[in-house]
Copies of this chain bind each other. A is one copy, B any other.
């Protein structure tokens, strides 16, 4: 549970930045080199690499270097922790709605 909580922390931190979200979106279309990913973003390569490292550290992307070229690949499974967390929230809400409905039905019966 603590492990999953740490995973959620690092994934949500990674998602809380427009550059990193744009990189994930780009990689949704297929693997890309750091050069290709960096092109649309008005920042230095070292600054851009920090974003790449943040995404890699939390497991949202994998990177591999061949010669001078580093290629990045999306790991969709990592985003599943966000889906799972949202689904868990929904279960809590629905349990509440069910309780409220039972309460109203019981009052109507009386």
Contact = CB atoms under 8 A, between A and B. Distances in A.
A89 B25 contact: yes
Interface stretch (A13-21, A37-45, A62-70): A13-21
Majority secondary structure, A binding face? helix
Contact of A12 (B15, B28, B83, B92): B15
Nearest to A95: B29
A34 to B, nearest CB: 19
Nearest to A6: B18
A35 to B, nearest CB: 20
Contact of A28 (B13, B83, B93): B93
Given A5-B21, A13-B13, A28-B92, 5 more contacts: A12-B12, A12-B13, A28-B89, A30-B96, A76-B93
26 contacts: A5-B18, A5-B21, A8-B15, A8-B16, A8-B21, A9-B16, A10-B16, A12-B13, A12-B15, A13-B16, A15-B85, A16-B16, A24-B89, A25-B88, A25-B89, A25-B92, A28-B89, A28-B92, A29-B92, A29-B95, A30-B96, A76-B93, A79-B86, A79-B89, A82-B82, A83-B86
